[in-house]
Amino acid sequence: MAGFKIDISIELIQHYYNSYKYNHPDTLCLNDDITKFDLNEFKTSFIKNEEIDGIIGGPPCVGFSTVGDRKPTDPRNMLIYFFIQWVNYFKPKFFVMENVPGILSMAKGKIVEKIIELYKDIGYTCKKEILLAAEYGVPQLRKRVFFIGTLDDAILSLKLNKTNREHDGQKTLFEQELLPTFLTVKDAFSDVINIPPFTENIYDDLSIQYTIPPETEYQKYLRKNSEQIFEHFAPNHSKEVIERISQLRQGDNHASLPSKYKLKGGYPNIYGRLNLKKPADTITGNCGCVSAPGRFIHPTQQRAISVREAARLQSFPDNYRFFGNMMERYRQVGNAVPPLMAFEVAKAIKKIMNII
């Protein structure tokens, strides 16, 4: 990606590992837990005398503030701490650590302050970037936080070039070209919108041919080196759920339902239907569940979006495969960093680092 080569990847969850290994055959993939490695042994076995340009990861922040008497401001209660240990030991030229926006408000911002302080303690200048996927060519209003650091102050000149903007408008004096507007759900899958998904008798290589040519530049990107779509799988819904879904127009959610179809309790933003004319809301690991918070109902059909449709909204090309049961595939898609957004981050880093 952007000229970088991933030499080693580490993934704990078996199906995530299987998917990554299939899609990245030239990368040494390890199905293991980063907290269990002896770093000296890891270096001897896998790194040897090679220089490491960068370490990239997305360590989750989970439930640390409710465990025993641990302080929520102490990152040692999180996998983030282990990630920082790896950066400290191997001293790469740069690191990228991605997380959810919720980390910004944890302990009233003290978690973020502590993370940046810990990187400073091990010799890194760290910059925090809050990115919106739609501004980087992804048809989705997904925000993510990136901590990016270098051993010198090169990171301070990091500039990510946006590829899309929210509204049409006139060029300013400083703009040579007007950026195109955000991509929409229609841009993402109008070419497959009438292809029904598989809902039963599902197996890994089950696929279906395209029925019409790509209709947008984005679809051309998705279909490059692909003659068919895989993982066009979606759950079977009960008659009750289908009837409830049928009451929703594009852009509606549970709050829009007639009283007789509303559920008692739960989140107000469940049963959300996508709008063809707008970007998708955040695609989550529960994007195959219509009753999960979010907007995961197909814009024109009475069902959840398929695994492949979710992947397209995340900017995964159609030839990128996912393995596991249906829910595990949805989780892999929803938990990922959108590739096009990651590409822009990688390009910006390469520019400031002069890495060949």
Residue 55 maps to which CATH number?
Answer: 3.40.50.150
Q: Where are the alpha helices (DSSP H) in the chain?
A: 14-23, 39-42, 79-90, 110-121, 185-189, 217-223, 239-245, 307-313, 326-335, 339-353
Which range has the worst mean pLDDT, 167-176, 232-241, 293-302, 315-324? 167-176
The tally of domains found in the chain comes to: 2
Q: Is residue 329 assigned to a domain? A: no
pLDDT at 74 over 50: yes
> Angle at Cα 58 formed by Cα 219 and Cα 70, nearest 5°?
150
- Residues 6+ positions from 283 with CB-CB distance below 8 Å: 140, 142, 294, 296, 310, 313, 314, 333, 334
pLDDT in tens, 165-221: 998 765 655 555 689 999 999 999 999 999 999 999 999 999 999 999 999 999 999
The domain in which residue 37 lies consists of 8-165+338-353
| Token pair in block for residue 252 | 């509606």
User: What pTM was estimated for this model as a whole?
Assistant: 0.92
Co-location of 70 and 140 in the same domain: yes
- Residues 6+ positions from 285 with CB-CB distance below 8 Å: 330, 331, 334, 335
Q: Is residue 287 assigned to a domain? A: yes
CA atoms within 13 A on the CB side of 324: 18
pLDDT at 346 over 60: yes
Q: Is residue 333 assigned to a domain? A: no
Q: How far is CA 187 from the centre of its chain?
A: 19
Q: Where are the alpha helices (DSSP H) in 107-213?
A: 110-121, 185-189
Co-location of 13 and 160 in the same domain: yes
Task: Read off the pLDDT of each residue in 232-258 and give the average, rounded to a whole number.
Answer: 96
Co-location of 114 and 198 in the same domain: no
Co-location of 26 and 151 in the same domain: yes
| Token pair in block for residue 298 | 């197909």
What is the three-class DSSP state of 337? Answer: coil
Co-location of 242 and 343 in the same domain: no
Q: Are 124 and 151 in contact (CB under 8 A)?
A: yes
User: pLDDT grade, residue 69 (50/70/90)?
Assistant: very low
Co-location of 13 and 103 in the same domain: yes
Co-location of 152 and 106 in the same domain: yes
pLDDT in tens, 276-313: 999 999 999 999 999 999 999 999 999 999 999 999 99
Q: Is residue 223 assigned to a domain? A: yes
Residue 231 maps to which CATH number?
Answer: 3.90.120.10
Distance (Å, whole) CA 88 – CA 124: 9
Q: Is residue 330 assigned to a domain? A: no
Distance (Å, whole) CA 116 – CA 104: 12
pLDDT at 173: 54
Q: Is residue 199 assigned to a domain? A: yes
Co-location of 309 and 215 in the same domain: yes
CA atoms within 13 A on the CB side of 307: 29
Co-location of 147 and 296 in the same domain: no
Co-location of 242 and 135 in the same domain: no
pLDDT at 60 over 80: no
Co-location of 198 and 311 in the same domain: yes
Q: Is residue 170 assigned to a domain? A: no
